[in-house]
A = this chain, B = another copy of it.
Amino acid sequence: MQLTQFVHRSLRASPDAVMTIFDGRLRTCRESVDRMSRLAGGFQTLGLRTGDRVAILASNSDYYHEALLACWWFGAVASPVNSRWSTAEITYALEDSGSTVLLVDENFASVGSTLREACPGLTTVVYCGSGPVRDRMLDYERVIAEATPVDDLRVGGDTLALLLYTGGTTGVPKGVMISHQALMTSALGTLAAGSVAVSNGTNLAINPLFHIAGIVGWLAQSLMGGTQVFMPNFSPRTFLEAVDRHRPTTVGLVPTMLQMLVDYEDSTTYDLSSVRILRYGASPISPTLLERVMQMFPNSSFVQGYGMTETAHISMLSPADHLEGGDLLRSAGRVLPHCEVKIVDPTGAELPPGEVGEIVTFGSHVMLGYWNKPKETAEVLRDGWMHTGDAGYLDARGYLFIVDRIKDMIVTGGENVYSTEVENALAQHESVASCAVIGLPDTQWGERVHAVVVLRHGFDADADELRAHVKTLIAGYKSPRTFQFVDALPLSAAGKILKRDLRCNAT
């Protein structure tokens, strides 16, 4: 299995169809393939060889699409960098990966200059943005124009394709090594479950391509032909305009974006009828939000994917599941046909349906390991089973429910408390806009349950009132002992709450 295979298939099936759209710029499949085969030649002229790493620090664009495929064209490794990270974190990722070439666009040009100084191993920075080429950077367009197109080396299988740095919620960044085989398996398995891409459809690629969900969404549509419309960033207005203008059949979003969309005032002036599949991930959707989103996208079905960088999607809540609704909306859906998932206790023994334990998964979709981190790899990859660090259970019908991050579980007075259970109880109070529950060190209880709360605009509530509310819903020992009221919760690039940051700031 080989990530560039779809390119050849599309070139034969529809060479003159539009493959990419970005910022008013349309490129046919033929043009796109010509550019990526030249860029691959250009990369080789810069000294890059099979196995070398190319870092990309950019917003979604057609350049990103070309650069990923150009790397794979001759067996190089693409290392998309999380553009929301600090310069120190990005420096770490670049140094750790040993990337010698970095691509930056206009949004990250100054960071690119800084990185050039900070990373001695970085020999070349290529500017793939609008406007004039920055100092001491190569011009992306010139690299392409001056290069000789090269043939696809057809490298695939277990060859490393993607080095994605992760660790935003857990500490030291780790480079997740994803092979051609793993990414293709994930994309095919996700497609096999149905309803993630339309044959020859148009995908609005708004999930960042430095995130596994963005990559898989892009690849799944690519495998089915069609067009990618790249959006560099999200706002309700630009999104609605893009849907109205480009008529995408599939879009991928996160629930926080969906909330912003339904809360946007002028949404009815846009034609959203083209959307047939709306994928979302990162967290479940509330019934209220789903209902509003369904009204907003009348022709769309809805799918939710669950997974992590190390595994890509391992389960999916299908359109039919969304129609069934109810408790199923809290589920991460059924295990995808390309993989195996089980729930284990701390000794590794499999647990029966309904019992909460660690979610582990096995199959060709699992990462090769963490780059240069054999110890960390051995901790999570045991006998081929990837230990996700997520606590959850499978119900009697095989639906996966995520309960918590294992490390977010709070042990207070000898009792296990799952932070999400407390968060769900808190969230039912009308004054609570969002919240996060963490365990803080406590001399008496070992850990104490601590809640960080954002109040809804125009509403009010104090600790006593919220604590009393929670006690009407769940056991007293699960109720937060201490509260903290903040204006906003810290979020990762993937839209996940950074509990690590909360723990640091809460002491």
Which of A58-66, A142-150, A287-295, A330-338 lies on the face that meets chain B? A330-338
Chain B residues positioned under 8 Å from A364 (CB to CB):
1, 156-157
Chain B residues positioned under 8 Å from A5 (CB to CB):
339-340, 362-363
Cα(A2)–Cα(B340), bound, Å: 10
Chain B residues positioned under 8 Å from A334 (CB to CB):
13, 199
Known: A185-B1, A194-B194, A199-B194. A13 touches B340 (CB 8 A): no
Chain B residues positioned under 8 Å from A2 (CB to CB):
363
Q: Is A18 an interface residue (CB 8 A)?
A: no
Q: Is A398 an interface residue (CB 8 A)?
A: yes
Q: Is A94 an interface residue (CB 8 A)?
A: no
Q: Is A373 an interface residue (CB 8 A)?
A: no
Chain B residues positioned under 8 Å from A362 (CB to CB):
5, 154
Q: Is A407 an interface residue (CB 8 A)?
A: no
Residue in B closest to A384 when the chains form the complex, CB atoms: B154
Task: Scan A61-75; emit 1 where CB is below 8 A from any B CB, else 0.
Answer: 000000000000000
Chain B residues positioned under 8 Å from A398 (CB to CB):
9, 12-14, 225
Q: Which residues of A in the span 1-39 have a Cβ within 8 Å of any Cβ on B?
A: 1-2, 5-6, 8-9, 12-14
Among A6, A12, A353, the most chain B Cβ lie within 10 Å of the Cβ of A12
A13 touches which one: B224, B318, B320, B397 (CB < 8 A)? B397
Can you list 16 pairs linking A and B with CB atoms under 8 Å apart? A1-B185, A1-B363, A8-B340, A8-B342, A9-B335, A9-B341, A156-B364, A184-B338, A185-B188, A188-B337, A191-B191, A191-B337, A192-B192, A193-B224, A199-B334, A224-B337
Q: Is A189 an interface residue (CB 8 A)?
A: yes
Cβ–Cβ contact A335 & B191, under 8 A = no
Q: Is A223 an interface residue (CB 8 A)?
A: yes
Cα(A65)–Cα(B231), bound, Å: 48
Residue in B closest to A5 when the chains form the complex, CB atoms: B340
Q: Is A128 an interface residue (CB 8 A)?
A: no
